[in-house]
Amino acid sequence: MKLTNIIIFLIIVLCVAFAVFQFNGLEFLSISSKSLIVPLFTLLYFINVRDKPTFFTLFLLTFSITELSVFAEYATDNYGQIKFDLVYILGNILYIIAYCFLIAEVFKTINVRKVLKKYLLQIIVLMALNIYIAYMLIAIVNPKFMAKSHYLISIELLYNVVMLLLLMVSLISYFYNDNKKTLLVFLGSICIVFSEVIQIAYFYITDHDMLNILQTLLFVVAFAFFYFHSTVKNRKVQLFMLH
């Protein structure tokens, strides 16, 4: 229990340190602080969770490794654009793989045939909404990336599609199961998506410090939800009256 409290304290300290470094323009230190948060959640998961689902464990491990790869990204910053782009592509591919592991974990909670029969209209609406959001996100980053190369925009598009697919699948899973575990995954997915949208606004529209802090806060809250999901039992939670 003491170790758990220490890790939680370190996560809070890293969040505060990120904000302080961000406001003082210390970009490397702020990003480094953020990159250690998910590995600490993963450590918390391994310490406190006995029943560790394979796909969820792979999600946390892959995401943690990718977060730590920020140090490799900074190390290649002075070695040319091609090497920097390769590190960027590898990092995003690992993020995509991590989200695919989480999607696979969510898929375990649903019966596809029953879901299609019961929620076909909702799925169609959600898919249309996801296509629109993905298009809008690409429309924002496209002018920036097209000046460099087409493959970067392809990776960005795939990343956004997988992220939005996670949101859709987690929502359908909650509709279908109506329990606390799926609700927490859905809430975590919402936070991830909003965090990514705000991050795009920070990178490509306006680099206001508060935007970066807000997206990081949502990012941390998302992984708090994911962690709590792994620690609770399945219990009915009536939030949406769609049954």
| 50 or 152, higher pLDDT | 50
Mean pLDDT of 226-240: 71
Contacting residues for 229 by C-beta, under 8 A, at least 6 apart: 181, 184, 185, 188
Q: How far apart are CA 237 and CA 232, in angstroms?
A: 12
| Structure confidence by residue, pLDDT tens digits, 168-185 | 999 999 999 988 999 999
Mean pLDDT of 69-82: 63
Mean pLDDT of 54-80: 81
Q: How far apart are CA 85 and CA 142, in angstroms?
A: 16
Residue 242 lies in a domain: no
Question: Please, are residues 114 and 176 in contact by the beta-carbon 8 Å criterion?
Answer: yes
Rg (CA), the chain: 18
Long-range contacts of range 112-116, CB-CB < 8 Å, 24 or more positions apart? Answer: 114/176, 115/172, 115/176
Here the tokens at position 115 are: 């879901």
What pLDDT is recorded for position 58? 97
Residue 70 lies in a domain: yes
Q: How far apart are CA 59 and CA 56, in angstroms?
A: 5
Residue 236 lies in a domain: no
Read off the pLDDT band of 227 (50, 70, 90): very high
What range defines the domain where residue 136 resides?
2-229
Read off the pLDDT band of 130 (50, 70, 90): confident
Residue 239 lies in a domain: no
Residue 237 lies in a domain: no
Residue 235 lies in a domain: no
Q: How far apart are CA 204 and CA 192, in angstroms?
A: 18
Check pLDDT > 50 for residue 225.
Answer: yes
Sign of CA dihedral 111, 48, 187, 210: negative
Read off the pLDDT band of 138 (50, 70, 90): confident
| 72 or 202, higher pLDDT | 202
Mean pLDDT of 142-164: 75
pTM score above 0.85: yes
What pLDDT is recorded for position 133? 86
Check pLDDT > 80 for residue 88.
Answer: no
Residue 214 lies in a domain: yes
